[in-house]
Amino acid sequence: MIYRFRHAIIGPLAIFWLIVTMASVVTGAIAWSRFSRRVEASADPEQFRGSINQLQQITWVAGLLGVGAGLFALYFYRVDYRQERARRELLEEKLHAEQAVREKSAFLANMSHEIRSPMNAILGFSELLEPEGLTPKQSQYVRAIRDSGASLLQLINDILDLSKLEAGKLELHPDPTDMRDSCEFLRTVFGQQAVMKSLQLQFELSPNLPRALLLDRLRLRQVLVNLLGNAIKFTERGFVKTRVSWQSEENGKAGTLLIDVQDTGIGIPADKLEEVFQPFVQADSRRTAEREGTGIGLTIVKRVTELMGGSLAVDSTVGQGTTFHLRLPDVPVSGLSPVGDHAEPGRAVDFDDFAPAVLLVVDDNQANRALMAGIFERTHHRVVFASNGQEALDHLKQGRPDVVLLDIRMPVMDGRTTLGQIRKQAKMASLPVIAVTASSKPGEEHELQAQFSGFIRKPFSRQTLFLALAQFLQKASPADGLESPSAGETLQSIPTAAPNQAAQWRELALELRQQQAGIWPILRDSLAVNETRTFAHKLFLLGQSAQCPPLATYAAALTTFADAYAIGQMEHHLAAFPRLVESIEAASAQTEPQPV
């Protein structure tokens, strides 16, 4: 505002000043010329001529100074005008760039939605085929479909993440993370690939590594998956090694996490070390033409690392291998139980674990409706379908279902409008409505979670659907024969340990006593579902390691109750843990050698 006022005033004033000054000079010159002629006609012209010349010179100097001031004002006005025009052009370019970013984000979000919807059917139907009686070749085909679909989905996620990073919209969500469990997850993910290429997949963890670190576990996993995936992809012989070390600060409450991913692969030329972090660039497209990849993985790795406050460096020698150095400073040590990366143990998802229910599925995509029909085909649930919001409202007039699974983007009436119409009906005010969407617009998930009773993003697995429904459907009654083994049944089924297992079981009992004195009282009192699931996972691994099936069975049942949010049964099962420990101790003691 100030600049516009100045710009509007300075120019006219400068021109007015210049005109007035020049007019004054001309008028003064004319006046002095007339005056000089009069002086020449006077009695003593020589006496006045010197004074007149001095005054005339002063007048001309003053006039020239005035003209100079006017010219300077005009010059300043011209410079100011050019600066203003440059600022306007920069502002327009900025607005165009921001508009381009918004349009690109909207395009990517729309593309993601259009791809995720059919991907939901591809992955969902292939998951339904897996339990069927397929031949080995057919099973191989199904796995290929699932793997290819998962790769495509990962590519979509990478592109969206890159877009969010460029727009500054990618958010971090730190939670307690155990790097040991994360490395076990990576070993599980890449173990088969390493075996197929005869590579050694190695993990070295520092002994002083804290049990739980507060950082974004999923983003760190994304970084490590990209680094290990690249390492295995470009390594034909030798090993891929991940080293995790910890440098603690003096107060012990935080420190620096150091992760090195080393391989013995083809290496990267020195002049390409920085280029590999650029989007859609590979170190040598001619040498890697036969390898899959878009060249955006390392770009995301570097930018996510920087977003987490860390740094990423690379050392490489062509023909000898590459090492990526990941450094995350000021990572807090967490006192809470870490969240696991592995899928928790337990029974296969069985929707008959829920009491018989009526589900209303609203989706305009026929393939997705067919997928939901296939999921519930052999269950005791009844599924009603609608292709848009208006059809859903018509179905609701005929009766109230137990749960509504509602797509968001639909013709005729979309999901949000449908939800608003449902909530206007008093008898439907408490009806559970779960949003099911393939959209990935920034912030939309939080918005939908606030509006709807639940939220599912496509493509989803059977377990994701199971967990979403578990919040609203009742557990099946014992008469249906669908209950998991009770804690009492687990305890009664503990046999005496075999002689070659007695030592393992005694060590197991000591470890269980530590768990009983440490985390178990907290879980018993708080009944925290996620922490209980993590506790069950640890017990399951201990049971497998010590060859103690009763402990593994107990852990699987506890996981089932946590997954289904069956708080009462979970509480009862947790309360039986001390008796389970005593039973394992007793079973191991019966095989101890007796004194002669």
Give the C-alpha separation, 240 to 585, whole Å.
Answer: 41
Q: What is the pLDDT, as a whole number, of residue 591?
A: 52
pLDDT at position 242 over 90? yes
User: In this predicted model, which residue has the larger pLDDT, 200 or 430?
Assistant: 200
pLDDT digits (tens, 9 = 90+) for 72-125: 666 766 777 788 788 888 888 888 877 776 676 667 666 666 777 777 777 788
- Does 343 reside within a domain? no
Q: What is the mean pLDDT of residues 196-222?
A: 89
| Sheet (strand 358-362) strand order | 382-386, 358-362, 403-407, 433-437, 454-457
What integer best gives the mean pLDDT of the chain? 76
What is the residue whose two structure tokens read 């004195």? 517
Q: What is the pLDDT, as a whole number, of residue 596?
A: 39
Q: Does residue 562 come out as left (phi exceeding 0), alpha (psi in the -120 to 50 range) or beta?
A: alpha
How confident is residue 27, by pLDDT bands cut at 50, 70 and 90? low
Is residue 439 located within the same domain as residue 304? no
Is residue 516 located within the same domain as residue 389? no
- First CA to last CA distance, the chain: 103
Q: Of 143-147, 229-233, 387-391, which has the strongest mean pLDDT? A: 387-391
Mark which of 478, 498, 514 sits at the end of a domain. 478
Q: What is the pLDDT, as a whole number, of residue 585?
A: 78
Mark which of 93, 121, 154 sits at the end of a domain. 93
Q: Looking at the 3D structure of the chain, how many domains does it have?
A: 5
Q: What is the mean pLDDT of residues 231-242?
A: 92
Is residue 528 located within the same domain as residue 444? no
Q: What is the pLDDT, as a whole number, of residue 127?
A: 75
Mark which of 478, 496, 516 sits at the end of a domain. 478
- Does 594 reside within a domain? no
Is residue 201 located within the same domain as residue 296? yes
Q: How many residues are recorded in the chain?
A: 596
Q: What is the mean pLDDT of residues 188-193?
A: 78
Q: What is the pLDDT, as a whole number, of residue 343?
A: 39
- Does 342 reside within a domain? no
User: In this predicted model, which residue has the larger pLDDT, 433 or 559?
Assistant: 433
pLDDT at position 202 over 70? yes
Q: What is the pLDDT, as a whole number, of residue 540?
A: 81
Q: What is the pLDDT, as a whole number, of residue 88?
A: 85
pLDDT at position 4 over 60? no
pLDDT digits (tens, 9 = 90+) for 47-72: 555 656 665 666 666 666 666 666 66
User: Which CA distances in Å does 398 have to 257, 384, 393, 394, 454?
Assistant: 59, 11, 9, 7, 24
pLDDT digits (tens, 9 = 90+) for 316-349: 989 899 999 999 999 999 877 675 544 333 345 7
Give the C-alpha separation, 370 to 429, whole Å.
Answer: 28
What are the residues facing 214 on neighbouring strands? Answer: 176
Range in 9-23, 385-399, 510-524, 558-572 the model is least confident about: 9-23
pTM of the model: 0.49
Can you give the residue range of the structural domain that contains 62? Answer: 2-93
- Does 345 reside within a domain? no
State percent of the chain over pLDDT 90: 16
Is residue 435 located within the same domain as residue 300? no
Is residue 470 located within the same domain as residue 505? no
Is residue 184 located within the same domain as residue 293? yes
Is residue 293 located within the same domain as residue 252? yes
**Does 459 sit behind a cis peptide bond, omega within 30 degrees of 0 on the bond before it?**
yes
Is residue 216 located within the same domain as residue 276? yes
pLDDT at position 566 over 70? no
CATH at residue 455: 3.40.50.2300
Structural element, H or E, at residue 332 = strand 321-332
Is residue 393 located within the same domain as residue 496? no
CATH at residue 508: 1.20.120
Beta strands in 438-535 (DSSP E): 454-457
pLDDT digits (tens, 9 = 90+) for 280-328: 445 454 444 344 444 466 888 888 888 889 999 999 989 899 999 999 9
Q: What is the mean pLDDT of residues 200-223?
A: 88
Q: What is the pLDDT, as a whole number, of residue 483?
A: 43
What is the residue whose two structure tokens read 């998951």? 127
Q: What is the pLDDT, as a whole number, of residue 62?
A: 63
- Does 338 reside within a domain? no
- Does 280 reside within a domain? yes
User: In this predicted model, which residue has the larger pLDDT, 2 or 230?
Assistant: 230
pLDDT at position 148 over 60? yes
Is residue 162 located within the same domain as residue 188? no
Q: What is the mean pLDDT of residues 377-395?
A: 91
How confident is residue 419, by pLDDT bands cut at 50, 70 and 90? very high
Q: What is the mean pLDDT of residues 520-539?
A: 79
The distance from CA 317 to its chain's CA centroid, rounded to whole angstroms, is: 33
Q: What is the mean pLDDT of residues 348-370?
A: 87
Q: What is the mean pLDDT of residues 256-270?
A: 92
- Does 339 reside within a domain? no
Is residue 48 located within the same domain as residue 27? yes
